[in-house]
Amino acid sequence: MYYNLLNILLLIGAVQGLLFTVIILFSKRFKSKSNLFLGLLILGFSLNNLQYYFLMADLISHKTFFNLIYLPYASVNMVFYYFYVKTFLYPNSKISSKEKLLFVPFLFFFIMVILYKGINAMGMMSSRFEDFFVDLLFFHEVFSLIFSLGLLYITFKTIRDFQKELRTGNLEMLNRNLNWLIILSYIGFVLCLLWLLALVVELWGTSDSNLFYYTLWIGMSFTIYILGHIGLYKFGILEEQKEIKSKRMKSGVKVEKIKAFKTGNDNLDKFRNFIMVEKNFLNSNLSLDVVADHLKLNKSYLSRIVNSELGENFTDYVNRLRVEEAKKYLEDPDFSNYTLHAIGLEVGFNSKSAFNSAFKKFTSQTPNEYKKKNLAETETI
């Protein structure tokens, strides 16, 4: 009864993943290089779970499983994840010749599996090759685990390097909250640990390793759900940001040029020029540490200057500027179809909740309330 429930969850996760794959790969709305790899990743996870569902639900025998169904998806799934993250962060990046070599392990194992199936179908299977194939399967599991951990490390490093680039204040780069990608990578590490535990129990344990594999597969089903929903949602937000940035250049919402401050207080002028004139308040990774480092000032000293001369702390000062920038979008009918989340990211907030909280603090209204009120007034004019 317990395993029957797990098999049902396994099947639901696989079917859900196949549906996501069809939507991602065949919908014009989601056509992009990153979504291609997202779709392939979800497809790989789904087919892997589906093939083991047939085996664990006793729909086919162990022999039939390897003769007809089994394919070595484990050696390619994290390759798809790495390319998904890379192309999501850098949409214009190309897959280098060296990076294409990451597919070589899967191609090798795939050819060996097809060779096994072919030899078996022709009735030419020998006990020696059978034993070799069993050893190859175990080697594939161990290799794929180590390979996946290495790819997860490289992927995690890619995300961290991108975050460092965001902190440079390059306004040509879209503001993005990448915590969800980091969480996905951590989930990947957890899945690898479950995978390792299952292998250890299978090789040296006295208990049934099936329960550990079920835990791994159900974890993959959960990951499929996250990848499908969050991946597509984040893609939609990113596309909206691109449209907002493009439309802003053609509409009345301009990034106003402000004359450099010259008040006689050199350090305060440098601070305000960096924040306002250079528009660094639009950078979602801006912090007092980043500004102090850029201006080569002591962080505590800079904080005291801001508090005493501007009458508010650094966070409030920056958020007030962001709220004023957001008002321009919320008041303009041309931007009425864009989500508040995308607008919040565009003006420098790193999450929808942070945008809502700051906006209400400075206007006593939520962004949505402000938007509705001002658009209604515009329509009556």
Give the mean pLDDT of 208-218.
Answer: 82
Would you state the pLDDT for residue 249? 63
Give the mean pLDDT of 139-166.
Answer: 92
Structural domains of the chain sorted by starting position, each given as residue range(s) with its CATH number in brackets:
2-240 (1.20.1070.10), 251-380 (1.10.10.60)
Cα distance between residue 331 and residue 213, in whole Å: 54
Q: Picking from 62-76, 109-123, 227-241, which range would have the lowest pLDDT averaged per residue?
A: 227-241
pTM (predicted TM-score): 0.76
**Given a cut of 80, is residue 322 above it in pLDDT?**
yes
Band the pLDDT of 211: cuts 50, 70, 90.
Answer: confident
**Given a cut of 60, is residue 266 above it in pLDDT?**
yes
Q: Is the dihedral of CA 243, 249, 251, 252 positive or negative?
A: positive
Would you state the pLDDT for residue 73? 96
Cα distance between residue 230 and residue 225, in whole Å: 8
Q: Helix %, strand %, coil % for the chain, to 5?
A: 75, 0, 25
Per-residue pLDDT tens over the stretch 33-53 = 988 999 999 999 999 999 999
Question: What is the number of other CB atoms lying within 10 angstroms of the CB of residue 268?
Answer: 17
% of the chain residues with pLDDT over 90: 37
Per-residue pLDDT tens over the stretch 94-119 = 899 999 999 999 999 999 999 999 99
Helices 367-380 and 314-331, axial angle in degrees (round to 10)? 40
The residue behind tokens 């951990």 is: 149
Mean of the per-residue pLDDT values for the chain?
Answer: 85
| 282 and 347 Cβ atoms separated by less than 8 Å | yes
